[in-house]
Amino acid sequence: MPTVDVLIPTYNRPDALAVTLTSLCAQTFPDFRVVISDQTPDADPLQAGVVQAAIRVLRAHGQIVETHKHLPRRGMAEHRQFLLDQVTAPYAFFSDDDVILEPVAIENLLTVIQREHCGFVGCAMVGLSYVDDVRPNQQKIEFWDGPVQPEIVRPGTLEWERAPIHGAANAYHVQQQLGLTHDSPRVYKIAWSGGCTFYDTAKARAAGGFNFWRDLPEVHTGEDVLLQVRIMAQYGACGILPTVAYHQELPTTIEDRRYDAPHVLDLDLQAAR
């Protein structure tokens, strides 16, 4: 059984998915399986030549690559729960299909979560088109001084205002200013982590996973945020710098953003039950 299951939900992005998979080919920690789930209704991007080429390289390196066609679409929370249900490894690494990972991504995220014994470790997906757009007012960061601890993070609180560090190239600018390197990453306090998040599988499931999908309309956002604030309340979480992920900066596939899960559902797991 691999130590890490890499979970990739995808929708009509064969080229971006191929880039994401290619970045997995060079990982310094090789003990992982890849599970890809596609929800494109009228095409099969998993059969695109660029995707199949990357899958072949992963398999040649010894990785198991498992693919699914998961329809009908019932929203991102349901799709993520489907992927979480496939996990057999102790750790579940959710990566969006438009991410480029550093070679040390899995190794560093795994090292931090095992050291901190927390519920998840996230990292900013840096958009390097913003590398010259320095935003000092969005670079406030609070590093953990001592072990990561559970904390309550809610909309409208000071903790919620940590979010801007994950926008544009803010995290990249901070790590450059501080001279941080991948051989000695630091952990910081977060509001949430979208698109590239490394979970302790048992703790994610204990926090209810994404089973709240039935309480949301099919088109929604913020499903990862809702699970994460529940996990943080029980087990704590952190971000990692230097970041290990870059965003391909493609247009979102979810344009209707009226239903934001942490604003329409109960953030407390016990109350929700």
What one-character-per-residue DSSP string does 38-90 give?
E--SS--GGGSHHHHHHHHHHHHTT-EEEEEE--S---HHHHHHHHHHT--SS
Q: Enter the tokens of residue 14.
A: 């064969």
Q: Please list, in sequence order, all residues whose beta carbon lies within 8 angstroms of the beta carbon of residue 267, skipping any fewer than 6 positions away.
A: 154, 226, 229, 230
Q: Which residue has the tokens 């998993």?
A: 46
Q: How far is 255 from 220, CA to CA, in rounded Å?
A: 9
pTM comes to: 0.96
Number of C-beta neighbours around residue 22 at 10 A: 17
- What is the tens place of the pLDDT at every residue in 66-77? 999 999 999 999
Count other C-beta atoms under 10 Å from residue 160's C-beta.
14
Q: Is the dihedral of CA 12, 14, 19, 23 positive or negative?
A: positive
User: 60 φ, ψ to 5°?
Assistant: -65, -30
Distance CA 228, CA 191 (A): 9
Domain ranges of the chain: 4-272
Task: Encode pLDDT of 140-160 as tens digits.
Answer: 999 999 999 999 999 999 999
Q: For the segment 82-132, what is each residue's pLDDT rounded down to a tens digit?
A: 999 999 999 999 999 999 999 999 999 999 999 999 999 999 999 999 999
Sign of dihedral through CA atoms 114, 115, 120, 126? negative
Q: What's the confidence (pLDDT) of residue 139?
A: 96
Query: What CATH topology corresponds to 4-272?
Result: Spore Coat Polysaccharide Biosynthesis Protein SpsA; Chain A (3.90.550)
